[in-house]
Amino acid sequence: METSAATPTRPPHPAAASPSPSPSSSLRLWRSAAQRNVRNQWSHLRTAKDQWLAAVADGRSHASALVNTHFSRRNMPATDLGVLKDMPGIRDKANSKLARREEQYSGMLLSAYKEMVRQLSYLVKASHSMRCFSKATPNCSIMQFSDCQDDLNDSGDGGGAPVFKWFSILEFESLAQELVEMFVSEQKLKRLLLLGFLSITLNEGVEHQTSLDWGDELYDGESNKLQSIGLQSGDTYQLPENWSADILGSQRPGNTPSHEVSQVYLTTWHTNMNIKLSRIDEIFELVEEEMEIKLS
């Protein structure tokens, strides 16, 4: 009986038969991508932190000028103008000039606050962007990674493996979250103080213009921006945990503060009550030591 010869099998094309990376190879590739991402995010954190503190310093300067100008205007009727007292309309002209300066300093203070919100959003975003996910790329034999989760089974943390030497993604996230929580808490306090500062520029004696409440939007888009970073939930204001009632005294947010209360506001703004700079420096030192680089 005659048998037909077996048809030889052609070997598959290398690209079509590329083997899946081994677990150790996958982890090695993930770690390389994760290291780049973690370095970038911590660099973003440092930059946003520095810019936030710079905006706070600008805000205090503008707030101080605003307070001084306002009380100079308020005291104008009783101010001794010396040889200028007999000039026609001198007090009215001086009062109008001071009012314009109040408005100018108020706008500059609000701009500084807006910059603080912007930098806080960068802090929050960087703290939530530490993970590195495998990217599904059809017809590509090279493993790629992304900050977006394509596979629900991929946690983006390399299974808890160290990214550099010791710290896992979770530990980097924990340090970043500790950092961000300080700024979020302080941002709440700064907003309360801002309400007090802005209240002094409102027209006195006009009922619907003499009050600012916590739920008021201080600039267009502020509410959406705050809600996007989890800072504000609804219109109900709750005092920060370490904000004692005796600091405010009888002053409520939205009412025009007295000179004494305004000085307390300025001091409180300057001290950054919720920001522990020594702990922030310690966090960045830990991270830089782990990554063996100096963040800039």
Q: What is the pLDDT along the chain (296 residues), one digit of tens a residue?
A: 444 444 444 444 443 444 455 567 788 888 888 999 999 999 999 999 999 999 999 999 999 999 988 887 765 554 555 545 555 555 667 667 877 888 899 999 999 999 999 999 999 999 999 988 877 665 555 566 556 666 667 667 778 899 999 999 999 999 999 999 999 999 989 998 998 888 877 654 334 344 567 777 888 888 888 888 877 544 444 554 544 444 444 344 445 677 788 888 999 999 999 999 999 999 999 999 999 888 87
Distance, in Å, from the CA atom of 154 to the CA atom of 132, rounded to the nearest integer, reads: 9
Distance, in Å, from the CA atom of 150 to the CA atom of 148, rounded to the nearest integer, reads: 6
Tell me, rounded to whole angstroms, the distance of Cα 167 from its chain centroid: 24
pTM over 0.85: no
Token output for 226: 């705050």
Query: Dihedral sign, CA of 258, 198, 69, 78?
Result: negative
Query: Dihedral sign, CA of 282, 284, 285, 290?
Result: positive
Helix (H, G, I), strand (E, B) or coil at 135: strand
Distance, in Å, from the CA atom of 184 to the CA atom of 272, rounded to the nearest integer, reads: 12
- Across 205-226, b (16+ Cβ under 10 Å) vs e yields eeeeeeebebeeebeeebbebb
Question: Residue 261: its pLDDT value, please?
Answer: 83
Distance, in Å, from the CA atom of 290 to the CA atom of 284, rounded to the nearest integer, reads: 10
Question: Residue 7: its pLDDT value, please?
Answer: 45
Token output for 37: 């991402």
CA 201-203-207 angle, 5° bins? 125
Residues with Cβ within 8 Å of 108's Cβ and at least 6 positions away in sequence, in order, are 58, 62
Question: Residue 245: its pLDDT value, please?
Answer: 42
Asked if 135 contacts 150 with a C-beta cutoff of 8 angstroms, the reply is yes
Q: Which residues pair with 133 in a beta bridge?
A: 146
Q: Where are the beta strands (DSSP E) in 172-273?
A: none
Residue type, 88: P
